[in-house]
Amino acid sequence: MARPSPVARHWEDCMSNSKTITRRATLGLAAVAAAAFTLPAQADMDLSGKTVEWVIPFSESGGSAKWANFYAPLLAEALPGQPTVVVKFMPGAGSTKGANWFQTQAKANGLTIFGSSGSTQFPYLLGDPRVRYEYRDWNVVLASGTGGVAYLPPDLAEKWKADPKSLLDVDFIYGSQGATRLDLVPLLAWEMLGLKVEPVFGIKGRGDGRLMFERGEANIDYQTSSSYLKGVTPLVEEGKAVPMMTWGALDADGNIVRDPTFPDIPTFKEVYTMMKGEEPSGAAWEAWKAFFVAGFPAQKMVFLPNGATQEMIDTYSNAFKKVHARPDFAEISKKRLGIYPQMTGADADAALDQAISVSDEAKDFVKNWLKERYGVELK
């Protein structure tokens, strides 16, 4: 059997219960800390008195914002000289505006970093003409896995729980950033189930989609795990939203299994099997899974721009390792980000490679589907 990828191995480690995960994480991070402290002092640059600008190409209300705002103060404390880390939001064109800016204008001085998301990766993979950035030019210093949860208003959720097929005639409205963004994962999943979901395109971030749901302008939504934990869990507790399904997670063999952060919520694969009487297969399933794998196991990444020196790369990589080595990191990250791999070094490089590697067959299927379903034609 081929040796599983670092991403798959990380996800497999997340499959056990929270206590086991916390214990393993603490022991593992302590080992990382010990290794990090043996690094030569000259590997790190001094950022005393500096301000680091962390560019996020989305609005302030989505999962990327919550992820960056979680890490920013921890990174500031871990970087040598403890600089100020400021999160700057640059939404527009489904995140391609901010990514294009980072490609062409970010200076390789160690003071600008970029937070990418699956919604930045997918336009790149699909050849969106607005893309002017090249992932291979950038230097990854952190790769964060995540999951996703779809949810419904309580009246529809009651019918869903009684009989999912009872919702096949419902006209669903969904606030979407765009069909070529990470939203293609839920849109394709819902279509495979036979649900009639019409997206309202043009929102700047998934948080705006949640707000549409809260205002009653949308009756189905999905959020990545960090945004769901912070923004949707309170709605669930108040009885205003009910989880529908997760996209799942990957085990070490690449199989879709339950999301370790939401082990009580069925996966899309489980729901499909229940509704259709057989496990998903065929071109649509293979394409969906390919883009799920590209978009979620390494869904958010931190980059230094093209031209960054090895000293800069080592400085940030070591700082994130130091963050992960904190005794309280497993607990605080579980509450804010969920139970997912947080990768640096060679594992982050491998995660990036997986995130930007999708078969031509999967790309062709999605491009044809986008053209036929939404009139979106890509090269």
Residues 201 and 322 occupy one common structural domain: no
**Spatial distance between the Cα atoms of 228 and 337, rounded to a whole number of angstroms:** 9
Residues 277 and 329 occupy one common structural domain: no
pLDDT digits (tens, 9 = 90+) for 188-241: 999 999 999 999 998 888 889 999 999 999 999 999 999 999 999 999 999 999
CATH code, domain with 38:
3.40.190.150
Residue 198: helix, strand or coil by DSSP? strand
Angle at 313 between CA 309 and CA 319, to 5 degrees: 145
Amino acid at 243: P
308 near 110, Cβ under 8 Å?
yes
User: Among 154-158, 201-205, 348-352, 365-369, which is the least confidently predicted range?
Assistant: 201-205
Q: Which of 346, 349, 309 is nearest to 140 (CA)?
A: 349
Q: What's phi and psi for 175, nearest 5 deg?
A: -80, 120
Residues 193 and 284 occupy one common structural domain: yes
Residue after which a domain boundary falls, among 263, 291, 319:
291
DSSP code of 87? Answer: E
- DSSP per-residue letters across 191-227: HHHT-EEEEEE--SSHHHHHHHHHTTS-S-EEEEHHH
- Does 368 map to a domain? no
- Does 255 map to a domain? yes
Amino acid at 74: L
Residues 131 and 183 occupy one common structural domain: no
- Does 366 map to a domain? no
81 near 46, Cβ under 8 Å?
yes
Residues 128 and 168 occupy one common structural domain: no
For residue 104, give both structure tokens: 């062409």
- Does 199 map to a domain? yes
CATH code, domain with 155:
3.40.190.10
Residues 174 and 275 occupy one common structural domain: yes
pLDDT of residue 24 exceeding 60: no
pLDDT of residue 36 exceeding 70: no
Total domains present in the chain: 2
Residues 248 and 317 occupy one common structural domain: no
Would you state the torsion angle of the CA atoms of residues 285, 286, 289, 294, taken in this order, to the nearest 10 degrees? -150
In terms of residue numbers, what domain contains 52?
6-145+295-355
227 near 66, Cβ under 8 Å?
yes
- DSSP per-residue letters across 97-113: HHHHHHHHH--SSSSEE
**Spatial distance between the Cα atoms of 231 and 121, rounded to a whole number of angstroms:** 24
Q: Which of 180, 147, 189 is nearest to 288 (CA)?
A: 189
Residues 11 and 108 occupy one common structural domain: yes
Q: Which pLDDT does position 7 carry in this prediction? A: 53
Range ranked top by mean pLDDT from 15-19, 26-30, 80-84: 80-84
Residues 37 and 170 occupy one common structural domain: no
- Does 333 map to a domain? yes
Residues 138 and 251 occupy one common structural domain: no
Cβ neighbours for 169, distance < 8 A, ≥ 6 positions apart: 196
Q: Which pLDDT does position 156 carry in this prediction? A: 98
- Does 71 map to a domain? yes
pLDDT digits (tens, 9 = 90+) for 297-349: 888 999 999 999 999 999 999 999 999 999 999 999 999 999 999 999 999 99
Q: What's phi and psi for 196, nearest 5 deg?
A: -95, 95
